[in-house]
Amino acid sequence: MSPVLESLKETWSTVTSFDSVKVWLLVVGIAGGVGLFISWELSQLWEHLFGYSSIMTVLTTITVLLLSYFCLSYLVSSVLYNHELSAN
């Protein structure tokens, strides 16, 4: 595996692993809500500019959901890590 993919895999596993199921559910819920809102708006924009495309709608939705989950997980992990450091 290439070093870039290996680094991405390591970052993904570090960022998306939580000790608490409640935190994970919160992240998934918020990321899902935000991701669906953004993908809905992007799909509307795509349809307005180029016409309807179910393939683009599905690809946009999947991409936005994954990105919103990763970004929110990164943010929450950073906050929890900084909180843990300040507690020690």
The band of 88, judged by pLDDT with boundaries at 50, 70 and 90, is low
Q: 9-35, pLDDT tens digit by residue?
A: 888 888 778 888 888 899 999 999 999
Q: 40-70, pLDDT tens digit by residue?
A: 999 999 889 888 888 888 899 999 999 999 9
- Reading phi first (left if > 0) and then psi (alpha if -120 to 50, else beta), residue 18 is in beta
Three-class SS of residue 18? coil
What pLDDT is attached to residue 32? 94
- Domains of the chain, by residue range, sit at 20-87
This prediction has a pTM of 0.79
